[in-house]
Structure 1
Amino acid sequence: MRAYVDAFGLLFGAFDFAVRADGRWIWLETNPNGQWAFVDEPTRRAITTALADHLQNGIPHKDISRPANRHRNREHSR
């Protein structure tokens, strides 16, 4: 998935999958502006925080998946 969003220059992608009866996952599509309001609160908060950090601080999306780097960047900007 990381290679896909990188190839298209996306910062975020909502990947849609289906699961076959035999348990295999099938990729259907990727939405660059996917919705996440239906997910549980902790996950919704994490997604919102990561996107807000990027928009506010210009943090590259590679660092969003690494909370230690994100916090380190915040400390350097203070």
Structure 2
Amino acid sequence: MKREGAKSQVLSTEKLHIENKTIFVDLKENEGGKFLQIAELSNDRRSTVVIPLSGLAAFMEVLQKIAGGTF
């Protein structure tokens, strides 16, 4: 996960355009380990969520429940 002052390297990136938003999904790595960073750009706003690789499976389970309508 990102630490103050730590430089991260982008390992993989995907860009989505959904409605009036641009969403970047990046797999990154720094000295703290690998992490997923999801950034949303909409008008003049930027929001970011960072998920450590250790939490990615649980995050994906929640997304699959929501996408499948089983939440």
TM-score grouping bracket, smaller chain normalisation: 0.3 to 0.5
Larger proportion of strand: 2
Larger proportion of helix: 1
Q: What TM-score comes out, normalization by structure 2 length?
A: 0.33
Q: What TM-score comes out, normalization by structure 1 length?
A: 0.31
